[in-house]
């Protein structure tokens, strides 16, 4: 299942043009950049790549789940594991007119010897796809400035190592500046327990909310609270995609995201009284949407179930990513990290528009309130205890929770064969 990608791969040998005949710099030469030396990388034959892979395997692997953080302003990539920064490298992202999107992504496909079917079959070795609309990480030339058609290029040696470090579903965040995950604790996350702890825990009365459970953990008293019916769990989210575009490399793909029209046209699913239990075999991804007022669960890139949740207050939640690391000893608590993404460019555009309206004499508007912190965002979530128990039963290392104001279909990227994709630009 290999879709077309809209960005360019590695450079050719020094004696040949960088990408294709007719231009020394191909289409990767942005007009607004000053001339500067181009750092060409020799093409790595498959035999040499195999040796590089062996060396990468001997060099060791990261511990625990990975979080790959990419800074567009710094043109850097940092790989975080359970012990902090594991590795870092310079990168080259999308040039003007083909900018790399920011937001929350994950690795949804890996192909060592991928070739673009749009740009003259340009090689894209060690490709790790982030979206079906054409964004990926792969080995490529690093001229020292943004130069791709939207993809994130890495040095060949680092791309080979990354190939051995990552697994399907590895979390990738792309932001303008630099952010990093940090250890994080919160009563709501503590109440998502490993399977044996869930089985050993005393049942919580259905009328009590997670907020009440949190208070009980701290003080021993469980106050009553009003929550949505925990039994009203929706049927799996259905998001369709053109199967031919996913299964083959012949479907044209542009740098811009392709909205899921089939999912948009499909009527909303009605809630039912039963939900399938989470199956073992892969980390779960949980997404809480402030816009939809729902909690969605996916496993192995497929919808598992969704349920309505209560979110108190009107302040924006922001976009936060929490990643779990479960110890082999299930009697030990799950360790979590958290990172908060900056507000997307849409907020800046709205602020600029407001200023223009004020200049034109329109009614003055108040600036939007800042998004909540990770702790504040979780404090406002009221999730049925039965749902937490189901999530705890499926929780493994690499499981994640994303909290965002966006709806599940806001970016048009979340669909069949994807994790939750939250595009901020």
CATH code, residues 46-175? 2.40.440.10
pLDDT in the model for residue 32: 40
Lowest average pLDDT, out of 94-108, 308-322, 337-351, 400-414, goes to 337-351
Tokens 């790549």 locate to 49
Q: Specify whether the CB–CB gap between 93 and 164 falls below 8 A.
A: no
Gap between the Cα atoms of 268 and 16, Å rounded: 54
Highest mean pLDDT of the ranges 8-22, 203-217, 389-403: 389-403
Flag whether pLDDT at 329 surpasses 50. Answer: yes
More confident residue, 159 or 44: 159
| Structure token pair of residue 127 | 């490709």
Highest mean pLDDT of the ranges 244-258, 266-280, 306-320, 357-371: 306-320
pLDDT in the model for residue 30: 42
Q: Long-range contacts for 62-67 (Cβ within 8 Å, ≥24 apart)?
A: 62/86, 62/87, 62/165, 64/325, 64/397, 65/170, 65/171, 65/283, 65/323, 65/324, 65/325, 65/397, 65/398, 66/165, 66/166, 66/170, 66/171, 67/171, 67/173, 67/181, 67/321, 67/323, 67/337, 67/339
Flag whether pLDDT at 317 surpasses 90. Answer: yes
**Sequence spans of domains, the chain:** 46-175, 182-235+270-423
Q: What is the pLDDT of residues 367-383, one digit of tens each?
A: 556 778 999 999 999 99
Q: Which of 384, 391, 392, 393 is nearest to 231 (CA)?
A: 384
| Structure token pair of residue 387 | 């749902």
What value does the mean pLDDT of the chain take? 73
As a whole number, mean pLDDT of residues 70-93 equals 96
Highest mean pLDDT of the ranges 42-46, 70-74, 162-166: 70-74
pLDDT in the model for residue 117: 63
| Structure token pair of residue 16 | 């040949």
- Percent of the chain predicted with pLDDT > 90: 47
Flag whether pLDDT at 176 surpasses 70. Answer: yes
Flag whether pLDDT at 56 surpasses 90. Answer: no
As a whole number, mean pLDDT of residues 399-421 equals 94
Q: Which of 398, 401, 399, 396 is nearest to 196 (CA)?
A: 396
Flag whether pLDDT at 393 surpasses 50. Answer: yes
Lowest average pLDDT, out of 57-71, 174-188, 298-312, 373-387, goes to 57-71
pLDDT classification of 299: cutoffs 50, 70, 90:
very high
Q: Which of 87, 69, 82, 51 is nearest to 335 (CA)?
A: 82
Flag whether pLDDT at 233 surpasses 50. Answer: no
Flag whether pLDDT at 170 surpasses 80. Answer: yes
Strands (E), 309-413: 310-311, 319-325, 335-341, 381-382, 400-404
Flag whether pLDDT at 68 surpasses 60. Answer: yes
Query: Which residues is 154 bridged to in the sheet?
Result: 139
As a whole number, mean pLDDT of residues 282-298 equals 96
């Amino acid at each position: 299942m290999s879709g077309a990608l809209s960005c360019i791969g590695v450079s050719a040998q020094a004696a040949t043009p960088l990408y294709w005949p007719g231009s020394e710099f191909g289409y990767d030469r942005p007009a607004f950049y000053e001339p500067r030396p181009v750092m060409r990388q020799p093409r790595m034959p498959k035999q040499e790549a195999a040796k590089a892979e062996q060396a990468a395997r001997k060099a060791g692997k990261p511990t625990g789940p990975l979080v790959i953080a990419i800074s567009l302003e710094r043109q850097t990539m940092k790989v975080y594991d359970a012990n902090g920064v594991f590795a870092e490298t310079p990168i080259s992202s999308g040039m003007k007119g083909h900018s790399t999107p920011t937001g929350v992504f994950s690795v949804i496909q890996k192909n060592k010897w991928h070739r673009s079917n749009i740009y003259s079959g340009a090689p894209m070795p060690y490709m790790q796809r982030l979206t079906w609309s054409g964004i990926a990480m792969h080995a490529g030339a690093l001229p020292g400035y943004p130069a791709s058609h939207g993809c994130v290029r890495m040095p060949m040696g680092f791309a080979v190592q990354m190939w051995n470090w990552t697994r399907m579903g590895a979390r990738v965040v792309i932001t303008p500046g630099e952010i990093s995950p940090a250890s994080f604790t919160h009563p709501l996350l503590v109440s998502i327990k490993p399977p044996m702890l869930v089985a050993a825990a005393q049942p919580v009365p259905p009328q009590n909310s997670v907020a009440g459970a949190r208070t009980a953990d701290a003080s021993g008293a469980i106050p009553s609270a009003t929550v949505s019916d925990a039994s009203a769990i929706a049927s799996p989210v259905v998001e369709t995609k053109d199967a031919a575009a996913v299964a083959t490399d012949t479907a044209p793909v542009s740098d811009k995201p392709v909205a899921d029209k089939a999912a948009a046209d499909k009527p909303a699913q009605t809630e039912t009284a039963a939900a399938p239990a989470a199956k073992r075999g892969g980390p779960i991804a949980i997404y809480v949407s402030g816009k939809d007022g729902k909690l969605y669960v996916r496993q192995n890139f497929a919808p598992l179930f969704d349920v309505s949740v209560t979110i108190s207050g009107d302040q924006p939640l922001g976009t936060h990513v929490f990643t779990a690391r479960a110890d082999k000893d299930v009697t030990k608590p799950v360790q979590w990290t958290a990172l908060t993404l900056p507000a997307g460019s849409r907020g800046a555009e709205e602020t600029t528009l407001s200023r223009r309206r004020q200049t034109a004499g329109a009614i003055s508007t108040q600036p939007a309130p800042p998004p909540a912190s990770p702790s504040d965002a979780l404090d406002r979530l009221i999730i049925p205890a039965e749902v937490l128990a189901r999530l705890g039963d499926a929780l493994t290392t690499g499981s994640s929770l994303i909290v965002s104001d966006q709806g599940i279909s806001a970016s048009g990227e979340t669909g069949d064969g994807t994790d939750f994709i939250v595009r901020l630009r």
